[in-house]
Amino acid sequence: MEPSRLFRTSWTVLAVAGLLMSGCSSGSSSSDSSASPNAVNRQPQKKADAVQVLQPLPAAVPAGLRPYYDQKLSWRECGIEGFECATLKVPMDYANPADGRDVKLAVSRRTATGPGKRLGSLLVNPGGPGGSAIGYLQSYAGIGYPEPVRARYDMVAVDPRGVARSAPVTCLSDSQMDTFTQIDQTPDDRKEVDELVSTFKDFATGCQDRSGKVLGHVSTVEAARDMDVLRGALGDKKLTYVGASYGTFLGATYAGLYPSRAGRLVLDGAMDPSLPALTMNRDQTAGFETAFTAFAEDCVRREDCPLGKGTAKDAGRRLQAFFTKLDKDPVPSGEDRKLGESLATTAVIAAMYDEGAWTELRSALQSAMDGDGSGLMRLADLYYERDADGSYENLMFANPAVNCLDLPAAFNGPNDVRKALASFRKASPVFGTGLAWAAMNCTYWPVEATGRPSRIEAKGAPPIVVVGTTRDPATPYRWAQALAGQLGSGTLLTYEGDGHTAYGRGSDCVDSTINTYLLEGKAPKDGTRCT
């Protein structure tokens, strides 16, 4: 993948970071309107709740894994100035490391630029699941993280198993993916429901046919174990890590498995690992309403707002009416594909990740309402990682592959969705119906889930900084509160604002706080708030 394709704008990075529990044509979801942005007290889950606790692995490296930890990485030029690349071998199945089925993971780094004493390696992950960490490193983190951090750390990324350059999961051809992204996710009758079910089944079958060998071994637990192998191969005693969105789940899982080897961990735009899939999807749906409300309140005050004047609710009703119109009568986009309701919804969702995209969204919506869908199509294509030549990266294949292995499906079938529709619509009048049906994406998955909702406590780990944004459009603020409450050493840093994640997005308070932690090991006081 050419990183410049994925990271053409800063908000595209955020959209990829926020996929999480996405369905086929409605990306991710977001912050929760029921969580008070001014609340200081976290919301730890009561231990009496029937949720298991992630147990640490033995501190000693098992003999069967020692050859993996002791491997020497052979660094070579990547073709991108300043970056090196290598290949890391890990076992396909950690329960049977001697069976000869290794997975080759792509790794990249940019060595510390100095001055100052080198502090070791800083591993970064942009989230997804399915976002390329190497693409993120080479196009943003390795050159865009604060200079004092890059001066003292080797910036490192590994594409997790199943993602991008690391045994990527594939499911559909490009033409099949075009059809998949346009399927109607607000079915009006039994026939359309059957078509949606058939689409999910075909997608799952395609993943099994094309990627069956790795499909059962792309879980977050396995990816976290891979990170520990990488830590060993890099020669670091402890892991230093910055993870965004889903990357917080990956980082928290690492801390839960290896608390004694956790170093300075920043979990930005945090997930709550104790939630089942249904709750997670519904929480995210409520968050999209929060994100859209922020956009709409800004839009109706502007002369160029395509959703008219009045209140945010008025704007929401007009957007719903436009989606309904597109469902019946798609508009041209300047190519063979027409812009229908599903792609238009994806486009709006994609632009919710950063307020910097709101101007483009207003323009694209107005053009679509005037009969030109090219602007919204571009936003949807950026979200799906669809290139101008019609080819797709593997983001939308890796995403459900990881999600469906990590948690049992939210629904067992259409009847379950119908029962939940009212609660999803209550969470978001604008997006609720589509996101409820999208949550059926794991229902027909060919591999049984190996993970379960789990509290992560990581007892014995040093202070872990958990960052939450009050109106985050992909990870509800209360998830950050919950994760910080679960972690034995969690400390909550709150950014009062819009957009997905907080580090490196313009808040001097957030950036200086995290920089101090990474460079000096001084964690912020629990409950610190930034604007």
Do 143 and 4 contact (CB within 8 A), yes or no? no
Question: Distance (Å, rounded) from C-alpha 202 to C-alpha 212?
Answer: 14
Phi, psi at residue 105, to the nearest 5°?
Answer: -105, 135
Strands of 120-125's sheet in order across: 76-77, 84-91, 102-110, 153-158, 120-125, 239-244, 262-268, 464-471, 490-498, 528-530
Active site residues: 245, 472, 500
Question: Distance (Å, rounded) from C-alpha 501 to C-alpha 522?
Answer: 21
State the DSSP code for 530.
E
b/e code 87-103 from CB counts within 10 Å (16+ = b): ebebbbebeebeeeeeb
Question: Distance (Å, rounded) from C-alpha 219 to C-alpha 383?
Answer: 23
Torsion 213-219-221-227 (CA) sign: positive
Torsion 67-70-76-80 (CA) sign: positive
Q: Any alpha helices (H) in 393-491, and if so which ranges? A: 395-406, 414-427, 432-438, 477-486
In order, the DSSP letters of 479-500 are: HHHHHHHHSTTEEEEEEEEESS
User: In sequence order, what are the residues at sequence separation of 6 or more whose Cβ sits closer than 8 angstroms to the Cβ of residue 359?
Assistant: none
